[in-house]
Each structure stands twice: as structure tokens, then as C-alpha cells.
Amino acid sequence: MDTAIFSKYEPVIGLEVHAQMLTKSKAFCTCSTEFGGAPNTRTCPICLAHPGTLPTLNENLLRFIVRMGIATHCEIRPRSIFARKNYFYPDLPKGYQISQYDTPICHNGFIETELPDGETKRIGITRIHMEEDSGKSIHDFGTETLVDLNRAGVPLIEIVSEPDMRSSDQAYAYLTAIKSIVTYLGICDGNMEEGSLRCDANVSVRLRGTEKFGQKTEVKNLNSFRNVKLAIEAEIVRQIAVIEEGGVVLHQTMAFDPNKSLTRAMRTKEDAHDYRYFPEPDLVPVTITKEYIDEVRAEIPELQRDRRDRFIRDFELPKYDADVLTVDKATADFFEQAIEALAGKSNEVIKSISNYTMGDVMRMLTERKATIKSLGLLPSHLAELITLVTDGTISNKIAKDLLPELPGNQKSPKEIVQDRGMIQVSDEGALRQAIRTILEGNPDNIAKYKSGKVNLFGFFVGQTMKAMGGKANPTLLNELVKEELEKA
Amino acid sequence: MTSQRLQELNTSLNCFLKVFDVPPHTIQTGKLDGMRIAVKDVLALKGERLTCGSKILENFTSLYDATCVERLISAGALVVGKTNMDEFAMGSSNENSAFGAVRNPWDISRVPGGSSGGSAVATAIGSCDMALGTDTGGSIRQPAAFTGTIGFKPTYGRISRYGLTAFASSFDTVGTFSRTLESAARSLEVMSGKDERDATSADVPVDEYSLSLSGNVKGLRIGLAEEYFGEGIEPDIREAIETVKAKLVAAGCILVPVSMPHTKYSIAVYYILTTAEASSNLARFDGIRYGYRTPGAHSLAETYVHSRSEGFGQEVKRRIMLGTYVLSSGYYDAYYTRAQKVRRLIKQDFTTVFKSVDALLTPTTPTTAFKLGEKLSDPLSMYLNDIYTVSANISGSPAASIPVGLDRNGLPIGVQLITDSFKESVLFSLAKEIHVDVLSRLTL
Ligand SMILES: [Zn+2]
């Protein structure tokens, strides 16, 4: 589409994010929320909706949503109630979902997002409420549909934003900020691919300069950060095209097809469900005291943006490093623990730990499909390894070779280096002796070097290093080779 | 009673859906040692059918014990059987059971009342010392009145609802039928109290109700609300009330005329709110995980529609439709929201009246037991049978129906006592003054 036409319009975007809570048990029974397990094994009469069973609220769900409310500057309602959302579906055992309707526990908050150009933008949070997940219908058995209720009753929070975003980049930044907050709060693992973070986008467009919102559609099926961005872009283009062709945008639910990068209508809102919400009579109203809010507030850790700013300030790290290190709370914790374990904390060593963490350590995570926690690398071991490099005991090269062996290893880097005799040779006499042996064996190359082939310098260094089993102190070796060549 | 005699009686009365020759649980010892109890088939008993009087649960077996049943068993009670009932506790005559109507032992051409008719009859014929019932709008008190038994509905939240198949969650209350006040008092003491599995159960200390049976009622103020003495009350019932009043005055009580102005809305509020909750509570019976599933459905929608159409009876379907309607967008505010507001006004009536009186005395029902089939074709007249009992469920107040005599046809008459929440002890001490053991005159 013509960019001139495109720029006539302003997109308006709001996101609804479902985050699965990391409570050990389900929202209203004591079944485990652990992922996996044979179908229907994480169930009990309550989450199977057997007659006579009643829900009881998991206190941790309440604690978690209050954390989220505080972190997103929401007002926390002193009294809120649960509501039943009624509809029939095979993976919804009770025939209704316990949710919240007109009294969401958190409302009227905001978060600050950071855009790619470094600008910050405040996005309003309309509401955050508690609800339970449904089970899973599995349709890939011919004409049969099978139902797995392991997920039924797993606690979710739904975070609804104001229609404050004006581009897919802003939506992406908002979602990134939400993920960062929930993971820092320890209430959700933030994994979109596995469905622990799910996102629907409300999208509309209007002519620039006009006040009135255009007709919005709801885009579903957004199971990765990338797809959220692509789907919103596709929907904006579709809506502009509809209007430019003289058509009208309908109130529809759209599905995103990631293969074709297109949005398609799933159903029109006119034939939407009537959920017949009404107050859940099996649960009592949730009352939140000021003392409770203060107690929860005390559990809230430093969030990503504050931590990043502190890393820049206290460790004099570049913004890039601080951003990368703090995206994931566990990584940031790992980094800080490594620094704490350091004997001498020069900026140079800190930067070196940053480099190792962002580079070699993160590469290991990808290769081993691990998280910083599951990897099993002790922060103190990384600190010790870097110290061995900076005090000249081992070379950088040896450190990098050694690093992959450290996760899960009972021995410290120092012990391994000693055991294997990997300690770097910085003894000048020994180095000169080795250099002279190499020079004596290569009179031709010395002649060539002297006649101007200076790049043979590397040859002499390399041969000596090889003869010493890679353990020569590289800086010192360079100096001494230069000296010996001059003498030769 | 021999098991052969019980089988004979059950053949004509149909009060038990299942009789246990041996209790289907381990026998324990405690406060209720050897008390024989019958359990309404809406309450869960581990390893046993839980039909709720419905075809849709005909073959359903419960995996656990209801809290009230569990507490009774651990106190030494013995379960003798599970009793017939109106399907999902919806009805006032016990003609709505998928397993046949229950008959009144005082006259087998008459109904025993409902929905806990099976439990009422099981108690009246002496097959148990106490029978558990549930009361959503009068389902214990009305059949108690019709059968000459003592029917107790404690405060909402007094006894855990865990294991009680929900009809209308904010109304449903577990209670007792018994021949003696002692059995009721001792059973309620055991069953009452907070249960972590029911968020709506009350964390209020439990009184020793049996102690109040020797209590003094002198000086208690008894409210007589004009709204409870309207047209349609049979003369024999009016007369019985006069006798009761005289007894109470003789015992030193003070009679006080009071007004409960919102009582006239009770039936309407009750049928809007209970059907709304029922329409949602009964959604789980969908033929997917357990219960009746239609043979031969070709789609998901057909599975739902046919399983539910074939599995539920007329009255249940009527109420599900009514409840779905009042919750529908466009009608919600006019019905559900308004009914909730009026519910608060009715509760307020009770709060106000209990500032000046200790208890209310009313008829339990406008008539004594009616004939089978008499009101089947007229649901509205059936609903009006609960006119004096529903208010105590709307407010959650404890209430009891106490037998006080027989009418000219030899049918039992019950009167109702209502007190403020958690004042069950007052109910017991007043009941002691007015109770007449009419069951001794029942010939089987
Ligand atoms: Zn469960």
C-alpha cells in the first residue's frame, strides 16, 4: 500500500494479556499446576466439577495479583467479588468459568514502556482480574475429540490495557514490559510459546487528527511476540484497505495466520455468546486491607528498569549490557551474584563478567536449551574463572575452553586449572628458552621476516604457544618473541 | 424395624432409593454412637450412588463424603439408606423424582411434601433416628409439617455445603428430620461449624443445642407478622396456631404483633434468584464427563441438547429455562438485579424485626398434605405452597417446623419458628415448649 495513504491513518491498539500464575496448586482446588503429566491425572472431584464440590480460593493467587496491581500502579479494590461466566464447552467442566466481572480486583493503573527509539510511553491499565483456565480439547483423533482437564482450574490473571498504543512497535514494547514485570514478580514464567502468556489485540484505525475511535476488531491466536507485532500490522493494513475501498470495518473476531501473515474473520460479534455473568455464590467477597497491601508491597523486588538503571550507575556498564543482563531476572541475579563473589571489583573485571554472561553463558543456554537456573553454573565459579584470567593465571582462551565444563562441576575453576596443569606460564626464562628453540629450527623464516615479511611474527608466536601446550602467557610471549627476533 | 418390614413399607411409600443392610462405611465411635441416619440422595456418600432423584445421575457414584455426612459418621452415626427426593431438590410434593413419587404414610393418596419427602417419610415411619434433608425454600420444613416430623433448617452457612449437590448455592442449607428434638440438637451440634472446603460456611462458635432443650423461655418475645397470616390458611391450622400461642403465653412468652412489609415479594425473588443459580449449577450435567449421555448424537450440540433433554425432568427443565432467561443480557437488570435488591430489603425486614423480638411464629404451610397429582398441572399453586418458608432462605435465618397436632382429617400440622442468624438455641428452647409427638398416633 502507498505509504501516503497509510500515513493518513492512525492505528489504535489495546491488548488483553492472560498470564498463567506460578502457584503450586490450582486456583480453586489443591491439584498441582505442574506442566505435563498424563492426561487427566492432575484432577480431583472439584476441578472435574463433580456434584457437591465447591471452590476455595488459593491465597497465593490473590497475593500474586496484588503484586501485579502494585507493580502496575493500579488501585486495589478493598472488596471485589468473583463472577461466573457461563458457556458450554467440553473442556469447561462446570459449564462456567470462575472469573471477575464488574469488580476486578485491580484497576486504573499504568506501566511505562520503552520504545525502540529510546522514548518512553505510558500505557494505561484498565483492569486486572483473576480467573481460572479451561482444559484442553484435543481434536487430532479422527472424528473423536478428547479432553484433558489437567489445565482446568489453573489460575490466570487477565491484564487489560487502555487503547493507548498507536503502533505495533508500541504494542510490542508494552508486551515486553508486561513480560518483564510478571517474571520479575515471580508470578508467571512469561513463556508465550508454551501459552503461559497469551495475548489478544483490539485494533482499530482512524484518520489522523480525528478523535473518534474507528470500529475495532479483536485479533486472536497470537502465540509469540513476533506474531503479536505481525498480526497487528496485518490487521491495520486490512482495515485501511477496507476503508480505502469504501467498505466498513465490522465488529469481528479475527484469527492471525502466521504462515500468510494475514488476519481472517473467525466470527462476528453479533453471534457472540451471552455469558450470563452473575456473582459466584460459592465464594465470599475478597477483602483486601491496607496492611495486606503493605505486606505484599514488601515482597516486590526491584523491577527491570530500576535495576538496569542501577547497573549503569553502579557498575558503569553500557546501556546495552545493562538491558541485556536485566531482561531476565534470573540472569540479572546471576550477574550480581557473580560480582558479589569477586575478590577485587574493578570496572574492568565487572565488564568482563558482563561480556562472559552475555556471550558465552547465554550461548550455552541456547545450545543446551537451558535457563540460567537449570544450567547449574555457579555465579561464584564464573567470578573465579574471570579472576584467574585477570590475575594472569590462565589465558582468556583457556577460560573460554574451560567454561562449558563448569556447569554442574563439583570442582572450582581454580581446582580444575591446578589439577590439569593449565596454569599459564609467565616465567620469562622458560618462555625465552622455548622461543629460542623455535627460532633455531626456522632460520629460513627468520631471514624472510628480516627481509620484510613481518606477518611471520604470528608464525613464531603460534609455534611457541603450540610447543608450550597453549599455556604461555600471551602478552608476555608477544613481547619476548619480538625481543628475540631482534636479537636473532 | 426388621429389614423385611422396611422393604414392605418402602414398596408402598418409596421413601428410600437404597437401603443398606450394613452401613456402607467404617463404624466409628463418638457422641452419636449407634444413631441411625438416612441421607437425602442429594448428599455425597463415598462409593455410593448420588442420583439427586434424576435420570441424568442415575449411575453416578460419588468419590467422596459430604462434610456433614463425614462428621456424622465420625461421631458414630450409622447410615441406613439414601432417600428419595424431588429431582435436584426442585419441588414441593416429591412427585418430581425420576424414581417415582414418595407417598405420605398418614394417607398414601397424599404427598409427603418436598423436596426432602423421602427423608421426612423415612423419619416418620421410624426407620431412622434422624434423616438429613436440604432446604432451599422450605424443602425440610414443608415435608416435616406434612409428615408430623421435626424439621430443622439452621442458619445459612451453619453447616458446610461441601458434598451437597447445588440447586441454588446462596439458599441451600443442610438440615435434619427427627422424631425427637434431642436427635436434631445432637446431630446439628456435630455437623455445624466452619469447613475449609466451603468458603461460605460460617466461622461462628457452635452452641450446645441439646442444653437449650431444658432452657427457660420466660420473657422471650414472639413476633406474629400479619404478612404470614393471609388468606388461604386452613381453619384447623389457624386453630393450631392459637393453641401454640396460648402455650407460649402460659410459659411466660410475650406475643408481639410485627410487620414484615416485603414478605409479599418473597416468592418472586425466590424463583428469580434460585432459578438463576440453578441454571448455572446444573450446567455441569452435560453428558461429557459423567452421568447420562444420549446414545446417537451426531455433534457436540446434539450431545448437549439430547443428553440434557432426556436426562432432566420437566420441573428441572422449566427452572433451568427460567434461570437462563433472567440472567440473559437485556433481562438481567430487570429480573436478577432487582431481585437481589429486594432480597436485601427482605433481609432488612428480618434484621429490623429481630431487634424487637426473639423469634417469629408462623404457619409452616397454608394447608396440610395435599393429594398426589393435585397440583402437578399447576406449578404456580405448587410454588405458593412455600409461601411461608422461602423468606427464611432469602434471609438465611434459622427456622424449624414443629408438629403441633392433627387436622380434622387426621393429617399432621406443623408450625414454623424463625430466629435471628445463629440463634438456633432459641429455636430449640421454644420448640420444646410447643412440640406435640403426633407420630405416636401414626399407624402403619
Ligand atoms: Zn483439582
Domain boundary (A387, A419, A451) is at A419
Query: What average pLDDT does this structure show over B7-11?
Result: 96
Do both A50 and A32 map to the same domain? yes
Beta-ladder partners of A132? A155
Chain segment B244-260, per-residue pLDDT in tens: 999 999 999 999 999 99
Partner-chain residue, chosen from B170, B283, B304, that has the shortest CB–CB distance to A281: B170
CA separation, residue B67 to residues B48, B155, B194, B198 (Å):
15, 16, 10, 9
Beta-ladder partners of B400? B152, B417
- Tell me the pLDDT band of A454, cut-offs 50, 70 and 90: confident
Contact by Cβ (8 Å): B172, B134: yes
Q: What is the total count of domains within chain A?
A: 3
Do both A209 and A164 map to the same domain? yes
User: Rounded distance, CA A93 to CA A112, Å?
Assistant: 39
Of A42-56, A212-226, B188-202, the poorest mean pLDDT is in A212-226
DSSP percent split of chain A into helix, strand, coil, nearest 5: 40, 20, 35
Do both A131 and A218 map to the same domain? yes
The per-residue pLDDT for A451 is 87
Do both A79 and A225 map to the same domain? yes
Interface probe for A, chosen from B56, B284, B325 (most Cβ of A below 10 Å), is B284
**Relative orientation angle of helices A319-326 and A304-315, to the nearest 10 degrees:** 140
A456 interfacial to chain B (CB closer than 8 Å): no
Of A197-201, B41-45, B379-383, the poorest mean pLDDT is in B379-383
Of A255-259, A426-430, B212-216, the poorest mean pLDDT is in A426-430
Q: How far is A294 from chain B (nearest CA, A)?
A: 25
Cell digits for B175? 438440615
The per-residue pLDDT for B34 is 95
A51 interfacial to chain B (CB closer than 8 Å): yes
Domain boundary (A227, A261, A295) is at A295
Q: What domains are defined for chain B?
A: 3-195+213-261+346-441 (3.90.1300.10)
Chain segment A92-122, per-residue pLDDT in tens: 999 999 999 999 999 999 999 988 888 999 9
Contact by Cβ (8 Å): B364, B389: yes
Query: Is the pLDDT score of B290 beyond 60?
Result: yes
User: Rounded distance, CA A183 to CA A202, Å?
Assistant: 24
Query: Is the pLDDT score of A269 beyond 60?
Result: no
Closest CA to A421 of A436, A434, A402, A406: A402
* Residue B277 with chain A: CB contacts under 8 Å: 278, 281
The per-residue pLDDT for A378 is 95
Other residues' Cβ atoms within 10 Å of the Cβ of residue A248: 8
CATH code for the domain in which residue A464 is found: 1.10.10.410
Closest CA to A391 of A413, A410, A376, A406: A413
Query: What average pLDDT does this structure show over B344-361?
Result: 98
Query: What average pLDDT does this structure show over B324-334?
Result: 96
Do both A181 and A320 map to the same domain? no
Do both A403 and A356 map to the same domain? yes
- Tell me the pLDDT band of A343, cut-offs 50, 70 and 90: confident
Interface probe for B, chosen from A282, A286, A287 (most Cβ of B below 10 Å), is A282
The per-residue pLDDT for A272 is 64
Grid look-up 440422595 returns: B41
Whole-angstrom distance between the N-terminal and C-terminal Cα of chain A?
72
Tell me which residues of B are annotated as active site: 40, 115, 139
Task: Count Cβ neighbours within 10 Å for each residue of B295-319 and write b for 16 or more, e otherwise.
Answer: eeeeeeeebbebbbeebbbebbbeb
Query: Is the pLDDT score of A2 beyond 80?
Result: no
Partner-chain residue, chosen from B43, B165, B286, that has the shortest CB–CB distance to A95: B286
Chain segment B135-188, per-residue pLDDT in tens: 999 999 999 999 999 999 999 999 999 999 999 999 999 999 999 999 999 999
The runs of H, that is alpha helices, within A10-121 are 59-71
- What is the pTM (predicted TM-score) of this model? 0.91
Domain boundary (A295, A328, A349) is at A295
Partner-chain residue, chosen from A51, A145, A284, that has the shortest CB–CB distance to B165: A51
The per-residue pLDDT for A268 is 64
- Tell me the pLDDT band of B349, cut-offs 50, 70 and 90: very high
Written in H, E and C, the secondary structure of A339-384 is HHHCCCCCHHHHHHHHHHHHHHHHHHHHHCCCCHHHHCCCHHHHHH
The per-residue pLDDT for A39 is 95
For chain A, percent of residues with pLDDT exceeding 90? 71
Chain segment B62-85, per-residue pLDDT in tens: 999 999 999 999 999 999 999 999
User: Rounded distance, CA B290 to CA B303, Å?
Assistant: 13
Do both A256 and A129 map to the same domain? yes
Q: Do B60 and A145 touch (CB under 8 A)?
A: no
The per-residue pLDDT for A397 is 84
Using alpha carbons only, what angle is made at residue A160 by residues A159 and A166, rounded to the nearest 5 degrees? 125
Do both A270 and A385 map to the same domain? no
The per-residue pLDDT for A1 is 61
For chain B, percent of residues with pLDDT exceeding 70? 100
Do both A254 and A310 map to the same domain? no
B4 backbone φψ class: left, alpha, beta (φ>0; ψ -120 to 50): alpha
Chain segment A357-366, per-residue pLDDT in tens: 999 999 999 9
| Top-confidence residue, B312 or A3 | B312
Query: What average pLDDT does this structure show over A149-170?
Result: 97
- Tell me the pLDDT band of B231, cut-offs 50, 70 and 90: confident
Of A243-247, A410-414, A426-430, B189-193, the poorest mean pLDDT is in A426-430
Phi and psi for B166 in degrees, rounded to 5? -70, 135
Contact by Cβ (8 Å): A455, A485: no
The per-residue pLDDT for A344 is 76
Do both A277 and A220 map to the same domain? yes
Do both A77 and A184 map to the same domain? yes
The per-residue pLDDT for B188 is 98
Contact by Cβ (8 Å): B27, B122: no
Task: Count Cβ neighbours within 10 Å for each residue of B386-415 and write b for 16 or more, e otherwise.
Answer: bbbbbbbbbbbbbbbbbbbbbbeeebbbbb
| Top-confidence residue, A48 or A417 | A48
Domain containing A367 equals 304-419
The per-residue pLDDT for B108 is 97
Strands A75-76 and A79-80 turn out to be unpaired
Q: Do A54 and B199 touch (CB under 8 A)?
A: yes
The per-residue pLDDT for A271 is 58
Closest CA to B371 of B113, B141, B47: B113
Q: How far is A12 from chain B (nearest CA, A)?
A: 28
> A135 CA to middle of ligand 1, Å?
12
The per-residue pLDDT for A144 is 82
Query: What average pLDDT does this structure show over A6-18?
Result: 96
Q: What interface predicted TM-score (ipTM) does this complex get?
A: 0.97
Partner-chain residue, chosen from A48, A53, A276, that has the shortest CB–CB distance to B289: A48
Q: Do A281 and B66 touch (CB under 8 A)?
A: no
Q: How far is B169 from chain A (nearest CA, A)?
A: 6
Cell digits for A230? 505481525
Query: What average pLDDT does this structure show over A255-273?
Result: 81
Chain segment A460-482, per-residue pLDDT in tens: 899 888 888 778 888 888 888 98
Contact by Cβ (8 Å): B176, B132: yes
Q: How far is A41 from chain B (nearest CA, A)?
A: 14
Q: What is the mean pLDDT of chain B?
A: 97
The per-residue pLDDT for A357 is 95
Do both A17 and A149 map to the same domain? yes
Contact by Cβ (8 Å): A98, A81: no
> B44 CA to middle of ligand 1, Å?
17
The per-residue pLDDT for A369 is 92
User: Rounded distance, CA B131 to CA B79, Å?
Assistant: 9
